[in-house]
Structure 1
Amino acid sequence: MHIEHLTLAPTQRRFSQPLLLLHGAWHGAWAWEQALPDLVAQGFEVHAISLPGHGNSPAPPNHRYATVLNYARVLRNAIADVGGKPIVVGHSSGGYVTQLLITGAVGPRPPLSGAVLLCSSPVAINAYFIDRGMRGVPMVDIRALLRRDPDIVRQAFFRPTMSLAELERHRIRLVAEPPLVSLSSMILRPRPAQNRTPILVIAAERDAIFDLECQQETAAIYGTELVVVPEATHDLMLDPAWPLARDAIARFAAQQMV
């Protein structure tokens, strides 16, 4: 299966491990358009893929029946293609797919130097949303988000100060997920106790999708470090505070080289 796979190489390589960036729901490799050159400037070889039906990756004929298992297979194949024991940076639901792989929930654990869970889906997605609903915590209107309503897209992913032009540039590239992806994500869960891969959890303080408490719980479950980026929103790689996340990724990668 052909998918969009962007690759950028640094002029002077500082890190032995490549980075493999995986977007979240509705997004594509385009979501890393600002982060890609920034990470390359730090000395990383950087790869970013678009899952089938996202970005510039064509949707296969049976895409409407795709599940999270399909996405996990695509990520596994990309890891093999990149080689060199990469560090996977999984954003949002891309972080969930990453968790499934590194915990052996969908087959053998791939050879990785580390995993960065960036504003990631929690271990138990259904429990997270049920708990928020029972506590009356305000949530993004998913139906309006599926319609790509501009106000809801802004509320879900970006800062209130983002210009209308930039918002529209991102909004028109959002795509709906096959329904079985969400359903299968609620059934198939990571196995944190089986994880052997070093993990860094990065949270956005103003995340409207997966809040700070959610990220604190994820870090606690994996017994790992949590970095909180102040004032940042869910699409952290497109947020003005992105450099703080970039620096955290660089520190984490350096630690894995020791």
Structure 2
Amino acid sequence: MKKRIPLPLSLPLGYLSVLGGWILYRLWRADPAKTLQEDANRHPKGVSWEREETFDGGTLRRVVEDGIERVTCIPRERRFETPLFFMHGMWHAAWCWEDWQKQLAAWGWESHAISLPGHGASPAQRSIQFCTLDYYLNFLRGEIARLPRKPVLIGHSMGGALTQWYLKYVGDDLPATVMVASWVSHSMLADNLLRYIRLDPAGLPLMLFHWDAAPMVRTPQVAARALLSPQALITPEELHARLVPESALVLFQHNPPFWKPPQNIRTPMLWVAGEADAFFSVEAMRRSAAHYNADFYLAPGAGHDVMMEPSAPDALRYIHTWLSERM
């Protein structure tokens, strides 16, 4: 007689089987080329919120227009014609770039940052569980197309993955790109899974059960272990209060067979890594930089949120110098 799986065990196994099938179905259906032919933004047109502030280096304008939060920083004295475009990562929004935007304005750079739908002040346009990288990419493509001049694209974490997807599916024709603690080039699971399980053994089961990535940053302490060093300039409570739910599909999509990094990228690239990044090892980030023939900078002692670390000013100065030599 065949042994039957006990009922308490069969229920979660059945759930995981159905979930696994649903993941494969959603990811096999995702077609970046087809997605990019669609009009991503279904939100009613118009400005729903606007605010402007001046500071020593220039003007910072925040607006929610056509359902997208846009933060534009105009320098008081412009030194560079090429604008910068910032793309946030998982759970974050345009707010994470504000300090860098202001400092770069003081150095003469115009910059733009957006919040993807469901992030920051941008209202969600579909359930977070159904958001994929190609869905987000279509918004990124549309926002860059609005600018009169192609920008330097600077992406943090998932924003770095979207930068790689942009180069592959939209165009390898940007003035430069900067990866800040970016997702690795080839496979999130191969380079990240075991490292993450050791960091937070409960995070993956909770993510699979709820089917979004919010459990990965479920408390201030859990979020800080993943994103910050102990010396970070922001407290775990301050950070956690600003984080939002995130898609889990995106984590699986940036892996074979759904993703293969482009070869022989022509766009100049700088890869900025955090020495104390809990998600990615320095070795994995160096390998990714080498694949794209990118220059590499290691921010001493920095966690995954490099922009919020004591070494952030030095990292930003390096980025500024690197870009200045190429613009």
- 1:174 correspondence with 2:243: yes
**CA shift for structure 1 position 230:** 0.7
Shift of 1:110: 5.9
Aligned to 1:121: 183
Q: 5+ unaligned residues in a row in structure 1: which ranges?
A: none
Shift of residue 52, structure 1, vs aligned partner: 0.8
Letter in 2 for 1:139: L
The 3-state SS of whatever aligns with 1:128 is helix
CA 1:110/1:3 → structure 2, altered by over 3 Å: closer, same or farther?
A: farther
Paired position in structure 2 for 1:238: 308
Q: Which residue of 1 aligns with 2:199?
A: 139
Q: For each residue in 1:15-72, what CA deviation from the matched residue of structure 2 results, as whole angstroms up to 9, or x when unmatched?
A: 2211111111111111112222112112110111111101111101454312110111
Deviation digits for residues 103-160 of structure 1, max 9, x if unmatched?
x2x3x31641110011000012121125647xxx833453485352121111111122
Other structure's SS at 1:218 match: helix
| Structure number with higher relative contact order (C-alpha < 8 Å, ≥ 6 residues apart) | 1
Letter in 2 for 1:117: M
Are positions 1:256 and 2:318 aligned together?
A: no
Question: Quick one: structure 1 residues 218 and 3, their matched pair in 2 at CA, closer, same or farther if it must change by over 3 Å?
Answer: same
* Aligned with 1:72 (options 107, 119, 137): 137
Q: 2:295 & 2:254 partners in 1: Cα distance?
A: 24
What SS does the aligned partner of 1:253 have?
Answer: helix
Q: Quick check: 1:146–1:176 contact (8 Å CA) kept in 2?
A: no
Which residue matches 1:211? 281
1:26 corresponds to 2:91:
yes
Tell me which amino acid in the other structure corresponds to 1:64: Q
**What's the secondary structure of 1:155's corresponding residue?**
helix
Contact 1:21–1:49 (8 Å) recurs in 2 = yes
Structure 1: which 4+ aligned runs deviate by more than 6 Å? none
Opposite residue 116 of structure 2, the aligned amino acid is L
Measure the CA separation in 2 of the matches of 1:129 and 1:159.
18
Q: TM-score, normalised by structure 2?
A: 0.71
Distance 1:140 1:17, change over 3 A: farther
Q: Distance in 2 between matches of 1:154 and 1:145?
A: 13
Q: Which amino acid aligns with 2:84?
A: L
Distance 1:160 1:191 in 2: 33
Distance 1:12 1:147, change over 3 A: closer
List alignment gaps of at least 5 residues for structure 2. Answer: 1-40, 42-66, 207-213
* 230-239 or 170-179: bigger deviation: 170-179
Q: For 2:122 and 2:129, locate their aligned partners in 1 and report how far apart those are by CA, in whole Å.
A: 15
CA distance in 1, matches of 2:227, 2:248: 21
Which residue of the partner structure matches residue 85 of structure 1?
Answer: 150
- 1:5 partner SS: strand
SS at match of 1:34: helix
CA distance in 2, matches of 1:52, 1:120: 20
Q: The residue matched to 2:273 in structure 1 has which SS? A: strand
Q: State the shift of 1:227 in Å.
A: 0.5
Comparing 144-153 and 114-123, the one that deviates more = 144-153
Structure 1 residues 109 and 154, CA gap change in structure 2 (3 angstroms): same
The answer to whether the 8 A contact 1:30-1:55 is kept is yes
Are the equivalent residues in 1 in contact too, given 2:157–2:182 (CA < 8 A)? Answer: yes
Which moves more between the two structures, 44-53 or 54-63? 54-63
Q: Quick check: 1:203–1:212 contact (8 Å CA) kept in 2?
A: yes
**Cα distance change, pair 57–64 in 1 and its aligned pair in 2 (3 A):** same
With over 3 angstroms needed to count, the CA separation of the structure-2 counterparts of 1:100 and 1:190, relative to structure 1, is farther
CA distance in 2, matches of 1:253, 1:15: 10
Number of residues of Structure 1 aligned to a counterpart in Structure 2: 250
